[in-house]
């Protein structure tokens, strides 16, 4: 089907006559010609239908596979419909203003497992008929359905749900290859001494949801490879964390720590504000404790804005170990208290292991981020000089957009499900959160080169770089991004003369 300002499609005979009478060179000029009257303008924009904001209302809803046929009526069918309805339609209307005619053909579109009726999803055609007084003779219902069919069906991907299996289509199929990979992970994790090198090799291309929690604990260095020691280490580290809570958390109101706790208390509600899970008071208290204990145990850096984002992937992954349904809408209070405490302690220790490798990003003046942004500028100038020179012409500094990329590890640029998939590779890669992240940022920037070069002013370019359209990204896009980053790393990491001018 052709999605444009005319629907149903133009009669082929009329289209052929138009093509014969109109030279090809005038096609572009016709598109740019402005309508002279309001009626011409209305006819040229009759695809701007009011569909009751269906996309906006269902944005955070769980994904259900809904079959919506995209077959369009050909002009001979429309001709037969017009003949069969001569009692009501005296004269065929103009092509631009053809009204959808509801007959038994429209009912064929309703005989599917899930249909759209008046902007909502119903389970069967019987529900559809019960929601309207005359299901077979309702022009409004048929018109709404035809409007839905004429629009491209874009996948609605939940923000967190199915975080491991998410692909670009929003469906979570388990293929034979994925089952084989899952069996390989289970075999590695069940061995008396897990081979961490082999585990990293398997994890580079993504970790299955079922084994991600224990794999992350192992790859971050929180758990030992020896199977027999794991339970003892977990028990000891969890008790140690809550010992810190008893020893230090009461001092959050002291004058020496008051500013730190106040800043944490302000930043926590801003963490993933679109996900209901992180707006629960119980979850926010967990984050406050984790961040405050980390801050007072690392006085060289203390708490810095951006560290609050780094807790969320660990928290969601460890929570998913106990939650089968959508994590984003789960009530934390439904879990036993002991389970809540274990998730909190594990999130603290794994975040601490992560920050140990990039702590210079958060010390005074954040020298680690300054160095990485400068390295990104050098790298982009070598791999895509057009983009680099375009930034100079528009007077855009790399620090103005890349600081956040380094400070938050791209968490503000990608959906949380993509961040979790990205961290699978970061934990599998040597110095993934520091060294490899530079090449991921470079690949991420070059991916948008067409959009970047189309922006010719400072404000538009900066707005684009701070609001890149990645909301519908899934595993496929992240996989391509990581592959390009690995290629750049292979070309530039061990070639200093190639890296710099």
Query: Mind spelling out the 3-state secondary structure of 299-316?
Result: CCCCCCCCHHHHHHHHHH
Question: Residue 438: is the preceding peptide bond cis (ω within 30°)?
Answer: no
- The domain 176-357 having CATH identifier 1.10.8: the answer here is yes
Q: What is the average per-residue pLDDT within 154-163?
A: 44
If one compares 77 and 390, the residue with the highest pLDDT of the two is: 390
Q: Where in the chain is the domain with CATH 1.10.472.80?
A: 367-499
Residue 172 contacts residue 166 (beta carbons within 8 Å)? yes
**Exposed/middle/buried for residue 111 (C-beta within 10 Å: 0-12, 13-18, 19+):** exposed
How many CB atoms are closer than 10 A to CB 438?
A: 24
Residue 206, SS3 per DSSP:
coil
Q: Which pLDDT band holds residue 178 (cuts at 50, 70, 90)? A: confident
If one compares 455 and 48, the residue with the highest pLDDT of the two is: 455
What pLDDT was estimated at residue 148? 44
Mean pLDDT of all residues belonging to the chain: 76
Q: Which pLDDT band holds residue 100 (cuts at 50, 70, 90)? A: very low
In this predicted model, what pLDDT tens digit does every residue of 398-413 receive, in sequence order? 999 999 999 999 999 9
How far is 326 from 337, CA to CA, in rounded Å?
A: 20
For the domain bounded by 367-499, which CATH number is listed? 1.10.472.80
Residue 460, SS3 per DSSP:
helix
Instruction: Enumerate long-range contacts of 60-66, CB under 8 Å, 24 or more apart.
Output: 60/158, 60/159, 60/274, 60/328, 61/156, 61/158, 62/158, 62/161, 62/326, 63/155, 63/156, 63/157, 63/158, 63/161, 63/162, 63/170, 63/171, 64/114, 64/121, 65/171, 66/114, 66/116, 66/121
What pLDDT was estimated at residue 494? 65
Q: Where in the chain is the domain with CATH 1.10.8?
A: 176-357
Q: What is the average per-residue pLDDT within 48-64?
A: 41
């Amino acid at each position: 089907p052709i999605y444009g300002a005319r629907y149903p499609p133009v009669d082929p005979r009329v289209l052929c006559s138009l093509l014969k009478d109109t030279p090809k060179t005038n096609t572009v000029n016709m598109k740019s010609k402005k309508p002279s009257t309001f009626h011409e303008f209305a006819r040229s924009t009759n695809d701007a239908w009011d569909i009751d904001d269906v996309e906006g209302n269902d944005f955070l809803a769980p994904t259900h596979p809904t079959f919506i046929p995209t077959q369009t009526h050909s002009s001979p069918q429309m001709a037969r419909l017009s003949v069969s309805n001569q009692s009501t339609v005296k004269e065929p209307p103009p092509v631009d203003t053809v009204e959808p005619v509801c007959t038994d053909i429209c009912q064929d579109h309703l005989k599917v497992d899930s249909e759209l009726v008046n902007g909502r999803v119903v389970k069967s055609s019987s529900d559809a008929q019960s929601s309207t007084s005359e299901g077979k003779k309702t022009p409004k219902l048929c018109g709404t359905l035809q409007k839905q069919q004429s629009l491209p069906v874009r996948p609605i991907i939940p923000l967190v749900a199915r975080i491991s299996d998410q692909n670009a289509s929003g469906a979570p199929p388990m293929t034979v290859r994925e089952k084989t990979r899952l069996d390989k992970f289970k075999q590695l994790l069940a061995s008396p001494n897990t081979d961490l090198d082999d585990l990293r090799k398997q994890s580079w291309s993504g970790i299955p949801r079922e084994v991600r929690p224990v794999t992350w604990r192992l790859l971050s260095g929180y758990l030992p490879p020896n199977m027999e020691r794991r339970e003892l280490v977990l028990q000891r580290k969890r008790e140690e964390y809550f010992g810190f809570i008893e020893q230090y958390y009461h001092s959050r109101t002291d004058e020496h720590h008051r500013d730190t706790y106040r800043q944490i208390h302000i930043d926590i509600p801003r963490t993933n504000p679109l996900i209901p899970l992180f707006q629960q008071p119980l979850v926010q208290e967990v984050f406050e404790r984790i961040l405050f204990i980390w801050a007072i145990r690392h006085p060289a850096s203390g708490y810095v804005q951006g560290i609050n984002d780094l807790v969320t992937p660990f928290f969601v992954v460890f929570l998913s170990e106990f939650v089968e349904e959508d994590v984003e809408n789960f009530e934390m209070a439904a879990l036993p208290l002991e389970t809540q405490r274990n998730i909190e302690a594990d999130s603290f220790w794994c975040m601490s292991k992560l920050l140990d490798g990039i702590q210079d990003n958060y010390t005074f003046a954040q020298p680690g981020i300054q160095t990485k942004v400068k390295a990104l500028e050098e790298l982009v100038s070598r791999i895509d000089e057009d983009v680099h020179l375009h930034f100079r012409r528009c007077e855009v500094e790399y620090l103005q957009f890349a600081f956040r990329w380094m400070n938050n590890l791209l968490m503000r640029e990608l959906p949380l499900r993509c961040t979790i998939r990205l961290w699978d590779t970061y934990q599998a890669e040597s110095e993934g959160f520091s060294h490899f992240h530079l090449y991921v940022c470079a690949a991420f920037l070059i991916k948008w080169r067409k959009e970047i070069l189309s922006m010719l002013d400072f404000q538009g370019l900066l707005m684009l770089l701070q609001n890149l359209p990645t909301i519908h990204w899934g595993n496929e896009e992240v996989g391509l991004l990581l592959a390009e980053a690995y290629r750049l790393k292979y070309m530039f990491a061990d070639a200093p003369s190639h890296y710099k001018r």
